[in-house]
Amino acid sequence: MKTFTTRAGWAFTGLFGLCALVSVSQIGIALAMLTMATSVAPPTGRLLGKYSVPKRLLIRSLIFCSAPLVSLIATDPAAVEVAAAPPVQQVAAAPEPAPALEAPAGIGLSRAGFQSIFEKPEIGFVFEQSSPVGGQPRVQGTSENNLVHVELIGPDNELTQATMIAGLPNDDDYALAENSVHLTGFMHLASPGWDGGKDWLRNGLDTLASTSDTEIQTAHDGKTYTLSFSEDLGFVMLVVKPAG
């Protein structure tokens, strides 16, 4: 028991060290520092998995990095601005327009805002077109470790839904730290102008980790944020949809 406490504590200390990098501008730098930290780990390099940590307990590893990692994926204002959908151009209405289907409500965010950030070489997501959903175009992205997936539904300039699924591996503490970075960055891009967004994410993860709840939800600025946990499948999912 003492060995477990010491090694697990060492792993979490490494994660806390990563979280302290509030002024870092690139995720690659932070992950490189995590690599250097884990280079002094026991030969297995799998501190948590060796002890078969329950999936719900692994959520706490995401909490450690949820608040101060905003700067790792979107540090400058341009990164946030590109996520916001461009203003709709006002066009004079044509006389007696033909009836048209009402466009689905959007979340005020553009596909490029997410894709351009997560496709950066230091982050390494790969995106591809997928089959439409409800007549809406869909793009899916996957992280380099194949444990984090992003789904973006809707037109290029006005998404109707954005989703991230982050796996909770119990045999790879480095991948768990990476997934924490991706989840926090996704929340940051999905909630421009919401100062309490990252706090809600951290508190939601804490609730999922410490109670029997499997879903937390809130609404802000016309969007609904749903954070859920699947113990059977071992992942945390964050979904952003229009409110209402």
Partners of residue 141 on adjacent β-strands: 127, 150
CA 229 to chain centre: 14
What local confidence, expressed as pLDDT, does residue 236 receive?
A: 95
Q: What is the pLDDT along the chain (244 residues), one digit of tens a residue?
A: 433 333 333 333 333 333 333 333 344 444 444 443 333 333 333 333 333 456 776 776 676 554 444 444 444 444 444 455 554 455 555 556 555 455 678 999 999 999 999 999 999 999 999 999 999 999 999 999 999 999 999 999 999 999 999 999 888 888 888 999 999 999 999 999 999 999 999 999 999 999 999 999 999 999 999 999 998 999 999 999 999 7
Contact 85, 55 (CB under 8 A): no
126-133 vs 161-167, strand pairing mode: unpaired
Strand 136-142 relative to strand 161-167, pairing: unpaired
For the entire predicted model, the pTM comes to 0.68
Please check whether residue 204 is in contact with residue 213, taking contact to mean a CB–CB distance below 8 angstroms.
no
Strand order in the sheet with 215-220: 126-133, 136-142, 148-153, 161-167, 235-242, 223-230, 215-220
Per-residue burial over 199-226, b if 16 or more Cβ lie within 10 Å, else e, is: ebbbbbbbebbeeeeeebebeeeebbbb
